[in-house]
Amino acid sequence: MKNNHLTPVSLDEAAHFLAVSSRTVRRLIDAGAMPCLRVGSALVVPVESLPGLRCGADAGPDMRPLLRLHEAAARLECVRSTGA
């Protein structure tokens, strides 16, 4: 079976786009909640299966990874709160 239409991303990349740890991505795969493929010895996730992400000609801004707290604070030109 050929999968020429799939765009794979590593587990770390999938975790980055979803703003979770790579361990969480592995748990989702183990639970059957996220599909994965084996490419050689590596597991990859089809980018099409990641919620909120599109690829191809209509990709647009959805392909940008989520901002971390310090990145969002810098863009908003404010100080991040420690929650205290």
List the chain domain ranges.
Answer: 8-75
What is the tens place of the pLDDT at every residue in 8-44?
A: 889 998 888 888 899 999 999 999 988 999 988 989 9
Q: Above pLDDT 90, what percent of the chain? A: 13
Backbone Cα Rg of the chain: 16
Q: Give the pLDDT band of residue 73 (cuts 50, 70, 90).
A: confident
Q: Model-level pTM?
A: 0.55
How many alpha carbons fall within 13 Å on the CB side of residue 64? Answer: 5
43-72: b or e for each residue (b if 16 or more CB lie within 10 Å)?
bbbbbeebeebeeeeeeeeeeeeeeeeeee
- Which pLDDT does position 80 carry in this prediction? 63
